[in-house]
């Protein structure tokens, strides 16, 4: 596998903070209007950093749970296959579910997970993604709360990885491949 390194910053720490605060505000407003029991479900591993910050900007009582799926096997290309590695522990029945994802690329992962959650009879399902690459979409998926669209570039940092690396970067950078 070729080595990857961060070529440049795409979204700075400060810009991320603003995006997350804005999402939190919109989500707060929505659930204050809706009312009821809210469960925020994060997709591991990519969403864990974003979700930790996001829930602290939501001013509405909530619980958290996680779901681990794998669609990329240490590569920047999607295999198109989605496997559940760790299922949600909580019951979704009659609860408002907010699904949190780091980035929606082809949409294949999101589509599969949305279908799985819908099958468990939640009271409602809304989706939130920090980033979206609309030009890469293969299946159409709803993103109710989207941080920002980005061009077709592979990004890392703030939870997002390349081959499990770079998740700890506090900003989002563009990966440049060497040796390809």
Task: Please identify every residue annotated as catalytic.
Answer: 105
Cβ closest to ligand IMP, residue 91 vs residue 135: 135
Choose the one of ligand IMP, Mg ion, none that binds residue 157, judging by a C-beta under 5 to 8 angstroms depending on kind. Answer: none
Phi, then psi, of 13 in degrees rounded to 5: -55, -45
Helix (H, G, I), strand (E, B) or coil at 156: strand
Q: Does the footprint of ligand IMP cover residue 103 (CB under 6 A)?
A: yes
Site string for ligand IMP, 3-42 (x = CB under 6 A): ----------------------------------------
Q: Which residue has the tokens 């681990």?
A: 68
CB of 173 closer than 8 Å to CB of 150: no
Asked if 113 touches ligand IMP (CB under 6 A), the answer is: no
CB under 6 A: which stretch of 19-27, 57-65, 91-99, 152-160 binds ligand IMP? Answer: 152-160
CA 41/CA 140 separation, integer angstroms: 21
Instruction: Please say whether the beta carbons of 133 and 103 come within 8 A.
Output: yes
> Hey, what are 94's tokens?
């009659």
First to last CA, the chain: 9
Question: Is the preceding peptide bond at 115 cis, omega within 30 degrees of 0?
Answer: no
Closest CB to ligand IMP among 118 and 121? 118
105 binds, among Mg ion, ligand IMP, none (CB under 5 to 8 A by kind): ligand IMP
46 lies in the binding site for Mg ion (CB under 5 A): yes
Which parts of this chain interact with ligand IMP (CB under 6 A)?
A: 46, 71-72, 78, 101-110, 154-156, 160
């Amino acid at each position: 596998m070729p080595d990857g390194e961060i070529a440049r910053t795409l979204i700075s720490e400060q810009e991320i903070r603003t995006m997350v605060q804005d999402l939190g505000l919109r989500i707060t407003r929505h659930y204050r209007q809706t009312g009821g029991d809210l469960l925020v479900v994060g997709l591991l591993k990519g969403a864990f950093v974003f979700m930790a910050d996001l829930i602290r900007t939501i001013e509405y009582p909530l619980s958290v749970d996680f779901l681990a799926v794998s669609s990329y096997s240490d590569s920047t290309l999607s295999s198109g296959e989605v496997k559940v590695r760790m299922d949600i522990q909580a019951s979704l029945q009659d609860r408002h579910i907010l699904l949190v994802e780091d980035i929606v690329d082809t949409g294949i992962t999101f589509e599969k997970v949305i279908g799985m959650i819908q099958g468990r009879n939640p009271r409602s399902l809304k989706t939130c993604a920090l980033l979206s690459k609309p030009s890469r979409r293969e299946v159409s998926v709803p993103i109710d709360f989207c941080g920002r669209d980005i061009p077709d570039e592979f990004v890392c940092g703030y939870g997002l990885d390349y081959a499990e690396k770079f998740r700890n970067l506090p900003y989002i950078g563009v990966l440049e491949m060497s040796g390809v």
